[in-house]
Amino acid sequence: MKRLPLEGLLVIALEQAVAAPYCTSRLADAGARVIKVERAEGDFARSYDHVASGESAYFVWINRGKESICLDIKDRRDQALLKLMVREADVFIQNLAPGATSRSDLDSTQLREANPRLITVDISGYGNTGPYRDMKAYDLLLQCETGLASITGAPQQAGRVGVSICDIACGMYAHAAILEALIERRQTGSGKGLSVSLFDALADWMTVPLLHQEYSGEAPPRMGLNHPSIAPYGAYDCQGGDQIVISIQNDREWANFCQQVLHCPDLVDSPLYANNIGRCANRSSMDGAINAVFSVTERTELIERLKRAKIAY
């Protein structure tokens, strides 16, 4: 059986909810031994719902492949046991409420002093500095505070992305940072302390809307399934009420779409739609031309045309 890349790695995870468990689930997938430390009542993500054969869907998804131990980190004996475990570990990760580990004598700096090869990861809502450093953070709040909600949803109403995207993004960044630290440790022989926040993770993903705001003076509008800077891009009604979602990414695809799907080659030569910027500026008339064809054509026929034209749908 093929050896997995992280076999032999021991990860101690004092974790809850989504961000840290997402990160450690990826380490477990790669062969690491992950020991999840839970309080007596368990990770509160266990109670999000009961849809997965009586278990929470989130909990089942991001806690597969792990071992679990119940410890009370406020209890001195349990603290001592956890410290012994961490002394043998390669990675220690935690995403408890701000200050919880320090109050329980589990400060990351002290843990690394006892185990110089240890990589520690502290996940927080807003980082270790600034006025929000002591505040709890949850996904919905971060979607609003980073501006994600302002560009999500229909024009009339902001919307929440339907999964815990801030937590997942943070878990992805933490996972990447751990892998980098493991490579560095191979070169230096020493561990390091890492800090990742939900806000910073999503703020990075919001760079494109920020650049739109800073350089154009306008934030990208909420457009439902449409894209503020790519067209055509969205859902179009077919004959009979079905819909097809299409995405045209460049002028070559636009030409193929007009000729082979719409059977309207004259649209290719129109200066209104000569490039993506023009198609976005003239989105209303362009959509009208597309709808004129789609609305009188069956979905199955349109799909065949899209396949032949190699258009993503």
Active site residues: 227
Report the alpha-carbon distance of residue 251 to residue 131 in Å, rounded. 48
Sheet strands (E) in the chain: 10-14, 33-38, 67-70, 91-94, 119-124, 153-154, 157-158, 193-197, 233-237, 243-247
**Under a CB-based contact definition with an 8 Å cutoff, are residues 191 and 117 in contact?**
yes
Q: Report residue 237: phi and psi, to 5°.
A: -80, 135
Identify any residues that bridge with 236 across adjacent strands, giving them in sequence order.
Answer: 244
Give, as one character, the DSSP assignment of residue 258: I
Interior angle at CA 76, CA 73 and CA 80, nearest 5: 85
Nearest 5°: the CA angle 125, 61, 108 is 40
CA-based R_g, the chain, Å: 25
- Residue 251 burial by Cβ neighbours in a 10 Å radius (0-12, 13-18, 19+): middle
Strands (DSSP E) contained in 100-240 are: 119-124, 153-154, 157-158, 193-197, 233-237
Question: In terms of C-beta density within 10 A (0-12 exposed, 13-18 middle, 19 or more buried), how is residue 113 classed?
Answer: exposed
Q: In the numeric block, which tokens belong to residue 180?
A: 């980098």
Question: Rounded distance, CA 256 to CA 272, Å?
Answer: 17
